[in-house]
């Protein structure tokens, strides 16, 4: 059986010590150690005379609730060290219950028991003690075990510790609430604590109303210091609480048969008690804001030190982890451990007819242009016999409400036919011939995937440019530096990958769905309508410049009809316009068929939309000097290019509105130019890129 | 006896052919597996859309057993009606 030592810190404890020592003599622990810190009453003499009690005397200045208990545990010899306060009297069976608590589980690091009121304890305190400890009891009012996530409450009025646990954690050297801090540390370290109702002591601090308030001040000051707890205070809420608590006290007294006269007397006292508690607990947890003399007056212990002067570190709030993984945790793992090794090259794999292609996608929304491109390609790769799968990487949980079957149907219905499966996350990862990243967020997780022969990166745009100076920008840049074979959505983007980042790269041309986007004989073209893709939520679309250009055009030609689309929220402008919101592909095709000139700007990679406008015979104005020249030639071919300047853009729009011959020429050459830009051709180019990735040494 | 160059080339060629065959088998097996997963996702679309876990639902005694009994009874009734119609139509 484990040896049990009892440690009792003492200071002027003459009032209850005889009762406590008599109870301990009855319970007969293996050792009793009392630590006196400067008693001026007869405590020292009582302890010296008590048989079987070892007395240790320390100067008052050396006392600390945590420090002194650590000293006691160091000096004691038991495998179990119990702490009692000088005014706590164990009831019969206390020691046996204590031992029974540790026998519940070998992981139990601490056992505590209830504090029962003495006969003269006020009803408010008695009820509070009863309610407080009843909450810890197990089924049927028996013992209970508490682990991680449970209430960390512990009270050194009546608690015992397994020496191994104490040695691992020790009490913090804090002014108050060292037991509460130990409770939290104990659960965090994986130990259990046990509550044993039979391990009871008589203990209640019954003070006068003002003393009670000052004690609450100290208690909540301690809670702030150890746990960062700040007690909320709302006057109306406090009034409601006081009323409810007083009513509960009166009910409790009635249930115990207290006479009406006594109940009435206690009612007034209870109101003061609960009201004072609300105010002083709020003040205590904000003690550092009060001047030192005020703190000293409010504290029952007369402590004027703030533990929070302007020169000291304020109390910290302990925070528990709320995530199992950082959103960009894969980047950390790649930087720490490097990419997962690739499978050894298999001869002839790059030329094999059917490949296993795993596409890793970031979350999507209906109408997402990038996902449309990716799924148009994947759909066609699948039709060519490749075994295609989609893997959703969604670290921010944007699509967490949707399950795989629903996600699969979304891809199929919103973007392009897809017959393969969709996986969420990589728990079921089972390898591929080539794993394909499709956005900067997907690259680091992709680098951690094993059982794959090659990695490729379908680069839709130069994504670092989507961000200001930021973590995202830096991580996006990093994705091009891992040697993954890039298949970029324009020659401009391919050259950027190779020239700036040294990445191996191929290019593909975005395709046009000519079944949807084609000249329409059944739609009459208007003579003076400009349509503008004004998706102002996407910064790279340079919408403010576009709106300035249209404002300038309106100043010159107030009769010109302006139509904005591509966003649900109509942007504020200086000119009148018609707003169409987000349109489906057939609706877009109809719009392009009836409009006179299109305006679509991109500050980064050339997008699909101008090609779709051209396919419908709609001449289009785009920005010069960015990426369009890599597709249409230095003069823009069918596209009217203009610098990033509202006046120049307005000039280009006006020329197309005024010059019929120029309009005819650009409309015709646009249709001719994009005729060869199909998704089948794009798929040829992407497939070749994937095979290059497989052939890469 | 050491293998001649021709024998070694032939062996290499045989091994390459075998690797290609195994690779093709692997792709075929992967294709079948992915088809099965996709088909299962196709079938469970509405359950997933409505966040319905039929297995968990049927394991609840208060719901599962009565529902199961009701469905069995309905199926029996349907078969009975079909049998009766076949008899009446003489088919």
Contacts of A397 (CB under 8 A, 6+ apart): none
Return the axis-axis angle of helices A608-615 and A585-594, rounded to nearest 10°: 60
Query: Hey, which residues does A55 pair with through a beta bridge?
Result: A34
Task: Say whether both A405 and A491 belong to one domain.
Answer: yes
The range of the structural domain enclosing residue A333 comes to 329-507
Task: Say whether both A576 and A493 belong to one domain.
Answer: no
Task: Say whether both A147 and A12 belong to one domain.
Answer: yes
CATH of the domain at A347: 3.40.50.11090
Tell me which of A200-214, A333-347, A445-459, A479-493 is least confident.
Answer: A200-214
CB nearest to A421's CB, from B23, B37, B48: B37
Q: How close, in Å, is residue B55 to chain A by CA atoms? A: 16
Q: Which two structure tokens, joined as six digits, stand for A406?
A: 């629903």
- SS3 state of residue A686: helix
The string of DSSP letters for A278-321 reads: HHHHHHHTTGGGS-HHHHHHH-TT-----S--TTSPPPP-----
Which of A298, A314, A337 lies at the terminal end of a domain, its last residue? A298
SS3 content of chain A, % helix, strand, coil (to 5): 45, 15, 40
- SS3 state of residue A145: strand
Residue A464 falls within a domain, yes or no? yes
CATH of the domain at A616: 3.40.50.2000
ipTM: 0.79
CB nearest to A404's CB, from B24, B27, B41: B41
Report the C-alpha gap between A289 and A223 in whole angstroms.
15
The answer to whether the beta carbons of residues A5 and A77 sit under 8 Å apart is yes
Phi first, then psi: give them for residue A150, nearest 5 degrees: -85, 170
Which of A279, A298, A317 lies at the terminal end of a domain, its last residue? A298
Residue A258 falls within a domain, yes or no? yes
Percent of chain A scoring above 70 in pLDDT: 97
- A308 vs A181: which has the higher pLDDT: A181
Task: Say whether both A380 and A500 belong to one domain.
Answer: yes
| Amino acid A629: pLDDT | 87
CB contact under 8 Å between A347 and B19, yes or no, is yes
Q: What is the number of alpha carbons within 13 Å of residue B35 lying toward its C-beta?
A: 10
Exposure letters A418-448 (e unless 16+ CB within 10 A, then b): bebbbbbebeebeebbbbbbbbbbbbbbbbb
- SS3 state of residue A464: helix
- Whether A551 and chain B come into contact, CB under 8 Å, resolves to no
Task: Say whether both A159 and A247 belong to one domain.
Answer: no
Averaged pLDDT for residues A588-593: 96
To which residue do tokens 């006081």 refer?
A242
| Amino acid A212: pLDDT | 84
Q: How close, in Å, is residue A566 to chain B by CA atoms? A: 28
Report the C-alpha gap between A546 and A556 in whole angstroms.
15
| Amino acid A336: pLDDT | 95
Residue A697 falls within a domain, yes or no? no
Q: What is the DSSP letter of A414?
A: I
Check whether B83 has a pLDDT greater than 60. Answer: yes
A401-444 pLDDT, tens digit per residue, is: 889 999 999 999 999 999 999 999 999 999 999 999 999 999 99
A268-293 pLDDT, tens digit per residue, is: 889 999 999 899 999 988 888 888 88
The answer to whether the beta carbons of residues A597 and A659 sit under 8 Å apart is no
Domains in chain A: how many in total? Answer: 4
pLDDT band at A633 (very low <50, low <70, confident <90, very high): confident
A530-569 pLDDT, tens digit per residue, is: 999 999 888 999 999 999 999 999 999 999 999 999 988 8
Averaged pLDDT for residues A583-589: 93
Residue A513 falls within a domain, yes or no? no
Check whether A318 has a pLDDT greater than 90. Answer: no
Mean pLDDT, all residues of chain A: 91
Among chain B residues, CA nearest to A422: B38
CB contact under 8 Å between A389 and B34, yes or no, is yes
| Amino acid A306: pLDDT | 55
pLDDT band at A697 (very low <50, low <70, confident <90, very high): confident
Exposure letters A365-398 (e unless 16+ CB within 10 A, then b): eeebbbbbbbbbbbbbbbeeebbbbbbbbbbeee
- Whether B54 and chain A come into contact, CB under 8 Å, resolves to no
Task: Say whether both A591 and A464 belong to one domain.
Answer: no
Residues 315-354 of A with CB under 8 A from B: 346-349, 352, 354
CB contact under 8 Å between B27 and A356, yes or no, is yes
- A236 vs A441: which has the higher pLDDT: A441
Residue A558 falls within a domain, yes or no? yes
Contacts of A120 (CB under 8 A, 6+ apart): A206
Q: How close, in Å, is residue B21 to chain A by CA atoms? A: 11
Chain B positions touching A348 (Cβ under 8 A) are 16, 20
CB contact under 8 Å between B27 and A355, yes or no, is yes
Among chain A residues, CA nearest to B35: A420
Task: Say whether both A216 and A192 belong to one domain.
Answer: no
Residue A192 falls within a domain, yes or no? yes
CB nearest to A420's CB, from B24, B34, B44: B34
Contacts of A428 (CB under 8 A, 6+ apart): none
Report the C-alpha gap between A108 and A196 in whole angstroms.
12
| Amino acid A369: pLDDT | 87
A82-119 pLDDT, tens digit per residue, is: 999 999 999 999 999 999 999 999 999 999 999 998 88
Q: Which two structure tokens, joined as six digits, stand for A316?
A: 């910290």
Chain B positions touching A694 (Cβ under 8 A) are none
Which of A244, A277, A298 lies at the terminal end of a domain, its last residue? A298
pLDDT band at A309 (very low <50, low <70, confident <90, very high): very low
CB contact under 8 Å between A387 and B19, yes or no, is no
A56-73 pLDDT, tens digit per residue, is: 999 988 888 999 999 999
B11-67 pLDDT, tens digit per residue, is: 999 988 888 888 889 999 999 999 999 999 999 999 999 998 888 888 887 888 888
Q: How close, in Å, is residue B9 to chain A by CA atoms? A: 15
- Whether B37 and chain A come into contact, CB under 8 Å, resolves to yes
CB contact under 8 Å between A405 and B47, yes or no, is yes
CA dihedral A100, A106, A107, A113 (to 10 degrees): 10
Query: Hey, which residues does A454 pair with through a beta bridge?
Result: A434
CB contact under 8 Å between A348 and B16, yes or no, is yes
Averaged pLDDT for residues A330-359: 93
CA–CA–CA angle A521, A594, A643 (5° rounding): 125
| Amino acid A311: pLDDT | 52
The string of DSSP letters for A617-636 reads: T--EEEESSSSTHHHH-TT-
- Whether A665 and chain B come into contact, CB under 8 Å, resolves to no
What are the CA-CA distances from residue A243 to residues A246, A270, B21 (Å)?
5, 9, 83
Check whether A308 has a pLDDT greater than 50. Answer: no
Q: Which two structure tokens, joined as six digits, stand for A471?
A: 């973590």
Task: Say whether both A368 and A484 belong to one domain.
Answer: yes
- Whether A453 and chain B come into contact, CB under 8 Å, resolves to no
The answer to whether the beta carbons of residues A519 and A616 sit under 8 Å apart is yes
The answer to whether the beta carbons of residues A666 and A656 sit under 8 Å apart is yes
Chain A positions touching B41 (Cβ under 8 A) are 404-405, 408, 421-422
Q: Which two structure tokens, joined as six digits, stand for A222?
A: 């301690």
CB contact under 8 Å between A347 and B51, yes or no, is no
Task: Say whether both A478 and A558 belong to one domain.
Answer: no
Q: How close, in Å, is residue B43 to chain A by CA atoms? A: 8
Q: How close, in Å, is residue B27 to chain A by CA atoms? A: 7
Task: Say whether both A500 and A561 belong to one domain.
Answer: no
Alpha helices in A52-156 (DSSP H): 65-75, 94-103, 123-134
Report the C-alpha gap between A210 and A193 in whole angstroms.
34
Among chain B residues, CA nearest to A351: B20
The string of DSSP letters for A420-453 reads: S-EEESSTT---EEEEEE-SHHHHHHHHT--SEE
Q: What is the DSSP letter of A509?
A: P
What are the CA-CA distances from residue A22 to residues A19, A36, A99, A112 (Å)?
5, 18, 20, 21
């Amino acid at each position: 059986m484990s040896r049990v030592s009892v440690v009792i810190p003492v200071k002027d404890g003459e009032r209850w010590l005889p009762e406590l020592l008599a109870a301990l003599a009855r319970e007969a622990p293996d050792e009793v150690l009392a630590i006196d810190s400067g008693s001026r009453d007869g405590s020292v003499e009582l302890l010296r005379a008590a048989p079987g009690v070892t007395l240790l005397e320390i100067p008052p200045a050396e006392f600390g609730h945590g420090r002194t208990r650590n000293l006691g545990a160091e000096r004691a010899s038991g495998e179990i060290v119990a702490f009692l306060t000088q005014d706590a009297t164990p009831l019969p069976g206390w020691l046996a219950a204590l031992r029974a608590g540790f026998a519940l589980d070998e992981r139990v690091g601490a056992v505590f028991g209830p504090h029962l009121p003495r006969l003269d304890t006020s009803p408010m305190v008695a009820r509070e003690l009863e309610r407080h400890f009843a909450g810890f009891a197990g089924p049927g009012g028996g013992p209970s075990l508490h682990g991680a996530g449970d209430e960390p409450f512990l009270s050194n009025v009546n608690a015992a510790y397994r020496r191994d646990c104490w040695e691992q954690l020790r009490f913090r050297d804090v002014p108050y609430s060292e037991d509460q801090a130990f409770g939290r540390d104990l659960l965090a370290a994986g130990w259990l604590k046990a509550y044993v109702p039979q391990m009871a002591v008589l203990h209640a601090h019954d003070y006068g109303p003002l003393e009670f308030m000052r004690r609450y001040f100290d208690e909540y000051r301690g809670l702030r210091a150890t746990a960062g707890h700040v007690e909320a205070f709302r006057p109306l809420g406090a009034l409601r609480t006081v009323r409810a608590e007083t009513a509960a006290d009166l009910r409790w007294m009635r249930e115990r048969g207290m006479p009406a006269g006594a109940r009435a007397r206690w009612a007034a006292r209870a109101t003061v008690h609960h009201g004072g508690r609300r105010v002083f607990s709020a003040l205590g947890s904000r003690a550092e804001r009060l001047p030192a003399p005020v703190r000293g007056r409010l504290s029952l212990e007369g402590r004027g030190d703030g533990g929070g002067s302007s020169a000291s570190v304020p109390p910290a709030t302990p925070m528990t982890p709320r995530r199992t993984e950082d959103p960009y945790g894969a980047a950390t793992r790649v930087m720490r451990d490097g990419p997962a090794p690739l499978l050894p090259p298999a001869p002839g794999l790059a030329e094999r007819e059917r490949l296993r292609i795993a596409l890793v996608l970031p979350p999507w929304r209906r109408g997402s242009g990038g996902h449309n491109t990716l799924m148009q390609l994947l759909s066609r790769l699948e039709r060519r016999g490749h075994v295609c799968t989609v893997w959703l990487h969604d670290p921010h949980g944007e699509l967490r409400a949707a399950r795989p079957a629903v996600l699969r149907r979304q891809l199929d219905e919103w973007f392009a036919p897809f017959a393969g499966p969709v996986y969420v996350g990589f728990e079921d990862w089972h390898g591929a011939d080539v794993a394909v990243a499709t956005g900067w967020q997907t690259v680091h997780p992709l680098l951690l995937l094993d059982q794959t022969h090659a990695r490729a990166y379908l680069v839709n745009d130069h994504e670092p440019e989507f961000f200001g100076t930021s973590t995202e920008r830096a991580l996006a840049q990093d994705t091009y530096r891992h040697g993954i074979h890039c298949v970029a959505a324009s020659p401009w983007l391919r050259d950027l990958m190779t020239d700036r980042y040294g990445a191996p790269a191929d290019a593909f041309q975005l395709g046009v769905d000519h079944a949807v986007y084609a000249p329409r004989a059944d739609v009459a073209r208007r003579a003076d309508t400009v349509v503008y893709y004004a998706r102002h939520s996407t910064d790279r679309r340079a919408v403010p410049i576009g709106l300035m250009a249209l404002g300038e055009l309106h100043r010159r030609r107030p009769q010109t009809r302006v139509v904005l689309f591509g966003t649900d929220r109509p942007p504020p402008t200086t000119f009148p316009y018609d707003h169409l919101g987000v349109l489906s592909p057939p609706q877009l095709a109809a719009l392009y068929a009836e409009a006179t000139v299109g305006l679509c700007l991109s500050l980064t990679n050339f997008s699909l939309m101008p090609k779709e406008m051209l396919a419908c015979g709609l001449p289009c104005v785009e920005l010069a000097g960015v990426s369009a020249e890599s597709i249409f030639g230095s003069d823009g071919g069918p596209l009217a290019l203009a610098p990033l300047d509202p006046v120049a853009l307005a000039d280009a729009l006006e020329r197309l509105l005024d010059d019929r011959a120029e309009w005819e020429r650009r409309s015709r050459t646009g249709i001719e130019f994009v005729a060869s830009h199909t998704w089948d051709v794009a798929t040829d180019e992407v497939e070749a890129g994937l095979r290059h990735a497989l052939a890469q040494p | 006896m050491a293998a001649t160059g021709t024998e070694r080339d032939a062996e290499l060629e045989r091994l390459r052919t075998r690797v290609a065959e195994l690779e093709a088998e692997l792709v075929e097996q992967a294709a079948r597996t992915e088809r099965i997963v996709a088909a299962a996702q196709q079938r469970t679309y509405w359950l997933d859309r409505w966040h319905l876990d039929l297995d968990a639902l049927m394991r609840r005694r208060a719901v599962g057993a009565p529902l199961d009994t009701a469905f069995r009874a309905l199926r029996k009734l349907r078969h009975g009606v079909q049998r009766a119609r076949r008899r009446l139509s003489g088919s």
